[in-house]
Amino acid sequence: MSDNTGSHPAGAHPTTRHPMTGNEMSAAAAGGMERHTYDVVVVGAGGAGLRAAIAAQDAGARTALVCKSLLGKAHTVMAEGGIAAAMGNRWPEDNWEVHFRDTMRGGKMLNNWRMAQLHAQEAPERVQELEDWGALFDRTEDGLISQRDVGGHKYARLAHVGDRTGLEMIRTLQQRAVHLGIDVFMECTITDLLKDDGVISGAFGYWRESGRFITFEAPSVILATGGIGKSFKVTSNSWEYTGDGHALAMRSGANLINMEFVQFHPTGMVWPPSVKGLLVTESVRGDGGILKNSEGKRFMFDYIPEFFKSETADTEAEADRWYDDKKNNRRPPELLPRDEVARAINSEIKAGRGTPHGGIYLDIASRRSPEFIRKRLPSMYHQFKELADVDITAEPMEIGPTCHYVMGGVEVDADTQESAVTGLYAVGECSGGMHGSNRLGGNSLGDLLVFGKRAGEAATAYATSLGEARPQVDEADVKAAQVSALAPFEVEGGENPYTIQSDLQQSMNDLVGIIRTASELEESLSRIEVLKKRAETMVVEGHRQYNPGWHLALDLRNMLLVSEAIATAALARQESRGGHTRDDFPQADDAVWGRKNLVVSTDDSGQGVVLREQPLPEMPEDLKKYFAPAAAESPAASKEGK
């Protein structure tokens, strides 16, 4: 370890690092810049960042983990359902090939096939690893890790802990990271990536607590910053999800792909207003919950698309039998992939069959015993009881679609997660490709683990391969980054960032939401231009110490850039597929659009975006066989519905 990393536990040797945040300087100290040298800097400490940091540290790298919040608070804690992994604990027929096929079909074949393959192959071992590190998953009768159903997966496949799997995962990884002694920089935001002759040389940021600046010198930077949901008004995402990684990557010259695909989770809370958008886990449906409109009709049977007809039940009787006898019955339509369900709910609400608060009913109370519900869905029970005064064991929930996840992200190499910029890696939600046009439930937690590990190892290998010949941080870049970060304090008489953020969220929600049209998307782009202008003169009151207004002002730049990327890509893709639904092009167009990705990067000014088309990577023949019409029921030779 280099002298200035101060990675030792407090007391081991005299260090000035703050014991929690890692801040080296007291807030009282005047001026100055903190500097650190590492092999690998991981930005973001959710599941992906933690897993990447663990892998890097295990591989021998000096590793720093930098996060905007306290350690263990990242949005991974909100993941509820489980980790998709074909472990075969419930269904011995399950294997990686079935999982691969489900993932590709769920993503409407637009996934990066190699990522989907690696994910399906490696997820089971990544889950076992969590157990080695102390995770306590729910068990089967044989004592193995239990697996549950969610939409789009052929077999019960999600390793889970009640409905708080994400919490279990982040706590386990956090405890592992602490155990390994990884240096953590908490409440520290990265605002710029530093480059030397086109390759990464470090990262620049500020301490939220003190407002002071910090520079990391490191040849490898792994972005694991999560999603972009905060650009939308109704979202399940927290304040952190401002697309930092997406924007940082773009500004440093990397590309984003699939940005038009934003997943609206079908079931978010709609009441009370303060929690509007808060997620209601898909496991409610996996465990027997059904969707009903205000007329009491179980409407999902009216919305089964041709693509999934052969594996979806068409009568309530068959659907209800499926929970106990999956071999001889087909899945209930409530468990179609998320995009299908979200669109169906949207249509019902638009047709005037919504609930008083503008949602539809999710009913498990009439279908399962109170004990069962409390045991299987404790967090949901708690959430509705505490926040909405609704007892879900006695009455139905009111739910509606909420912005949940962005399938798009930094374009990366499937095996190493490296972006177009040497030394820059991206994992988890801020990377793109793995989920195609729509992500299946449970595949994100698997994604974090599988590719987190791969990125950590690849980043370490690259940093090690450099030897002494490391890229150098250019002091001029650091200066520029400081000036840019302090700009909001320099303005006088400008606008409050909260107002601009709120206008952006409203605009994205209204114009780039679940159903899109060309005119609305064009309108959104022109509004973003106006917002960008307004943002140039936004003003921040107070000083640099723990100033949320300033933090928002800096995050807002990322939100604007990423929003523009989404709207631009959405306008270009003239078809409906997965998380992208165009009212003016309601059909999927396999012949044209099914063969290409949309790639977004910054324009020459660095302030706007440019778009280009790129052919989909060609799947090898031995994988294509799983999708041939004749073999549609293989590889696990579906026994369902026969």
Active-site amino acid positions: 265, 285
Least separation in angstroms between residue 488's CB and other proteins is 11
Least separation in angstroms between residue 173's CB and other proteins is 12
Q: Which of residues 64-93 bind other proteins (CB under 8 A)?
A: 69-75, 77-78, 87, 89
Nearer to other proteins, 307 or 498 (CB): 498
CA 527, CA 522: separation in Å to the nearest integer? 9
Least separation in angstroms between residue 236's CB and other proteins is 9
The number of beta carbons lying within 10 Å of the beta carbon of residue 444 is 28
Q: Which of residues 580-619 bind other proteins (CB under 8 A)?
A: none
Check binding of 502 to other proteins (CB under 8 A). Answer: yes
Residue in 3, 92, 132, 352 binding other proteins, rule: CB under 8 A? 132
Check binding of 94 to other proteins (CB under 8 A). Answer: no
Q: Which of 132, 160, 135 is nearest to 146 (CA)?
A: 160
Write out the two tokens for 25: 């300087």
Check binding of 547 to other proteins (CB under 8 A). Answer: yes
Check binding of 136 to other proteins (CB under 8 A). Answer: yes
Strand order in the sheet with 213-217: 34-37, 213-217, 199-207, 188-196
| Four-CA torsion 129, 134, 135, 136, nearest 10 degrees | 130
Residue in 1, 10, 33, 394 binding other proteins, rule: CB under 8 A? 10
Nearer to other proteins, 538 or 619 (CB): 538
Least separation in angstroms between residue 221's CB and other proteins is 23
Least separation in angstroms between residue 144's CB and other proteins is 6
Residue 358 neighbours by CB under 8 Å, 6+ apart: 270, 349, 400
Check binding of 371 to other proteins (CB under 8 A). Answer: no
Least separation in angstroms between residue 629's CB and other proteins is 36
Which stretches of 73-226 are DSSP H helices? 96-106, 113-132, 165-180
Write out the two tokens for 551: 């933090």
CA 612, CA 614: separation in Å to the nearest integer? 7
394 DSSP assignment: T
Least separation in angstroms between residue 635's CB and other proteins is 22
DSSP string covering 33-62: -EEEE-SEEEE--SHHHHHHHHHHHHTT--
CA 296, CA 299: separation in Å to the nearest integer? 9
| Dihedral sign for Cα atoms in the order 438, 363, 170, 273 | positive
Check binding of 490 to other proteins (CB under 8 A). Answer: no
Nearer to other proteins, 369 or 502 (CB): 502
Least separation in angstroms between residue 545's CB and other proteins is 6
Nearer to other proteins, 545 or 574 (CB): 545
Nearer to other proteins, 159 or 600 (CB): 159
Q: Which of residues 382-421 bind other proteins (CB under 8 A)?
A: 382-383, 386-388
Please tell me the count of residues contacting other proteins according to CB under 8 A: 74
Check binding of 21 to other proteins (CB under 8 A). Answer: yes
Least separation in angstroms between residue 278's CB and other proteins is 5
Q: Residues 483-508, buried b or exposed e (16+ Cβ, 10 A)?
A: eebbbbbeeeebeebeebbeebbebb
Check binding of 145 to other proteins (CB under 8 A). Answer: yes
CA 619, CA 57: separation in Å to the nearest integer? 33
Nearer to other proteins, 327 or 385 (CB): 385
Residue in 4, 121, 128, 537 binding other proteins, rule: CB under 8 A? 128
First and final CA of the chain: distance in angstroms? 61
Nearer to other proteins, 459 or 500 (CB): 500
Which of the stretches 305-313, 330-338, 375-383, 463-471 binds other proteins when contact is defined by CB under 8 A?
375-383
Residue with tokens 């295990």: 58
Q: Backbone phi, then psi, for 602, in 5-degree steps?
A: -80, 155
Q: Backbone phi, then psi, for 230, in 5-degree steps?
A: -70, -10
Residue with tokens 């480059």: 195
Strand order in the sheet with 147-148: 83-84, 158-159, 147-148
Q: Which of residues 259-298 bind other proteins (CB under 8 A)?
A: 271-275, 278-279
Kind and range of the H or E run holding 432: strand 431-432
Q: Which of 520, 603, 531, 612 is nearest to 567 (CA)?
A: 520
Which of the stretches 175-183, 306-314, 362-370, 447-455 binds other proteins when contact is defined by CB under 8 A?
175-183
Check binding of 176 to other proteins (CB under 8 A). Answer: yes
Nearer to other proteins, 74 or 194 (CB): 74
The number of beta carbons lying within 10 Å of the beta carbon of residue 32 is 10
Least separation in angstroms between residue 562's CB and other proteins is 20
Check binding of 506 to other proteins (CB under 8 A). Answer: no
Check binding of 14 to other proteins (CB under 8 A). Answer: no
Q: Which of residues 232-251 bind other proteins (CB under 8 A)?
A: 238-240
Nearer to other proteins, 378 or 617 (CB): 378
Check binding of 231 to other proteins (CB under 8 A). Answer: no
Binding mask 422-451 for other proteins (x = CB under 8 A): ------------------------------
Nearer to other proteins, 41 or 159 (CB): 159
Tell me how long the chain is. Answer: 642
Check binding of 178 to other proteins (CB under 8 A). Answer: yes
Check binding of 138 to other proteins (CB under 8 A). Answer: yes
SS3 category, 193: strand
